[in-house]
Amino acid sequence: MTVPNVTFNNGVTMPQLGYGVWQVPDAEAERVVKIALETGYRSIDTAAIYENEEGTGRALRASGVPREELFVTTKLWNSEQGYDSTLRAFDASLERLGLEYVDLYLIHWPMPSRGLYLDTWRAFEKLHADGRVRAIGVSNFTVETLTRLLDETEVVPVLNQIELHPYLQQEELRAFHAEHGILTEAWSPLGQGKGLLDDAELARLAAGHGKTPAQLVLRWHLELGNVVIPKSATPSRIAENFDVFDFELTDEDKAAIAALDKGTRFGPDPATFTGLG
Ligand SMILES: NC(=O)C1=CN([C@@H]2O[C@H](COP(=O)(O)OP(=O)(O)OC[C@H]3O[C@@H](n4cnc5c(N)ncnc54)[C@H](OP(=O)(O)O)[C@@H]3O)[C@@H](O)[C@H]2O)C=CC1
């Protein structure tokens, strides 16, 4: 199965479906990333704060998959924001991953109250100009923080990784991204697996395709144009989440899923989150 690519505003491409490793302990990361790579995933989403860059990197290096066929995302943690500290934190991430470059580097949270994200972004621009990252982007930015970034810095982020699933459809932010050539990447695309995947309406729609609610939700993301990075540490689910390219949503499915938007967040709200952890 070939996963379709999306193309960034700088011409770099990324698989639209990838694999996220939040909450996977470092000791387990090597095993699950290996399974994901064997399943066919080529895009892996980690972060400094996940404390599993080392295990992830070991799996990537041992896989035998040529580096240019892999797409590796990592993120700068909040406590490292600022120009010099960003450059140091990037070096540390690269060393833990054991890689020569990262495909996509993201500011994990804007932390507007700290007022550092513009300086941080200028360090990202330097890393990009120096060829140490192929693309730079952001995560958890709002229309307000993105507007300031666009107004006051040079490079337009290639994407914004935000919480997005049928209970939090993010219409306004998605429209803003589209207007500015920024792709939308969905974190917690399955709503962290709990309440969302038990939704009776999603179960009904999924059954109509002989698919699971998780597969239906992933298909919905892909058809909307979102980049999507579901996490699972369960081999059968890693495979299930990859098996989403043999069916299409009907107009009825799309209307029914649109009606599920309740503004429910499973993670923190970027407008108020101040975690330095
Ligand atoms: N930028 C940011 O601030 C954030 C980024 N992220 C990124 O997004 C990725 C995905 O988000 P995440 O929060 O992990 O949540 P997801 O929406 O991907 O859901 C993961 C949960 O769903 C379960 N699950 C996965 N597949 C299935 C399935 N087919 N059927 C039933 N249950 C399933 C998993 O269980 P199990 O593992 O037991 O199989 C796990 O508990 C993260 O790993 C991370 O890379 C996440 C949060 C914040």
The minimum-distance atom of ligand 1 relative to the CA of 233 is 37
- What spacing in Å lies between the alpha carbon of 20 and ligand 1's midpoint? 7
Which ligand 1 atom is the nearest neighbour of the CA of 196?
17
Q: Provide the pLDDT for residue 99.
A: 98
Please indicate whether residue 50 is annotated as part of the active site.
Answer: yes
User: Is residue 115 predicted with pLDDT exceeding 90?
Assistant: no
Asked if residue 189 has its Cβ within 6 Å of ligand 1, the reply is yes
Residues 6+ apart with CB under 8 A from 177: 159, 160, 183, 184
> What does the pLDDT read at residue 226?
98
Answer whether 267's CB lies under 8 Å from 167's CB.
no
Cα–Cα nearest to 31, from 234, 190, 228: 234
For residues 222 and 182, what is the distance between their CA atoms, to the nearest angstrom?
A: 16
**Is a pLDDT exceeding 80 seen at residue 277?**
no
| Closest residue by CA, ligand 1 atom 20 | 192
Q: What is the pLDDT of residue 11?
A: 98
**131 CA distance to ligand 1 centroid (A)?**
31
Q: Please tell me which residue in 19, 41, 50, 167 is annotated as part of the active site.
A: 50
Q: 139, 165, 188: which to mutate for ligand 1, most atoms within 8 A of CB?
A: 188
Question: Any bridge partners for residue 135, and if so which?
Answer: 104
Cβ of 193 below 6 Å from ligand 1: yes
- Looking at residues 174-183, what average pLDDT do you find? 98
Whole-number Å distance, alpha carbon 203 to ligand 1 midpoint, is 18
pLDDT tens figures, 35-76: 999 999 999 999 999 999 999 999 999 999 999 999 999 999
CA of 232 to the centre of ligand 1 (A): 6
- 24: its two tokens: 């996977």
Query: Tell me, what amino acid is at 215?
Result: Q
Whole-angstrom distance, CA of residue 268 vs CA of residue 265 = 7
Structural domains in the chain?
A: 13-192+221-246 (3.20.20.100)
Please give the mean pLDDT across all residues of the chain: 97
DSSP 192: G
Note whether ipTM > 0.95 here. Answer: yes
Strands (E), the chain: 5-7, 13-15, 19-20, 43-45, 71-76, 102-107, 133-139, 159-163, 183-187, 227-228
Taking the CB of residue 8, how many other CB atoms lie within 10 A of it? Answer: 22
Nearest residue by C-alpha to atom 39 in ligand 1: 232
Q: Is the CB of 234 under 6 A from ligand 1?
A: yes
Hey, whose CA ends up nearest to atom 12 of ligand 1? Answer: 188
Q: Does ligand 1 come within 6 angstroms of the Cβ of 230? A: yes
| Beta-carbon contacts of residue 251 (< 8 Å; ≥ 6 apart) | none
Pairing mode of beta strands 71-76, 43-45: parallel
Residue nearest to ligand 1 atom 33, measured at CA:
193
Position 213 confidence tier, pLDDT thresholds 50, 70, 90: very high
- CA of residue 161 to ligand 1 center, whole Å: 14
- 0.95 exceeded by pTM: yes
pLDDT of residue 141: 97
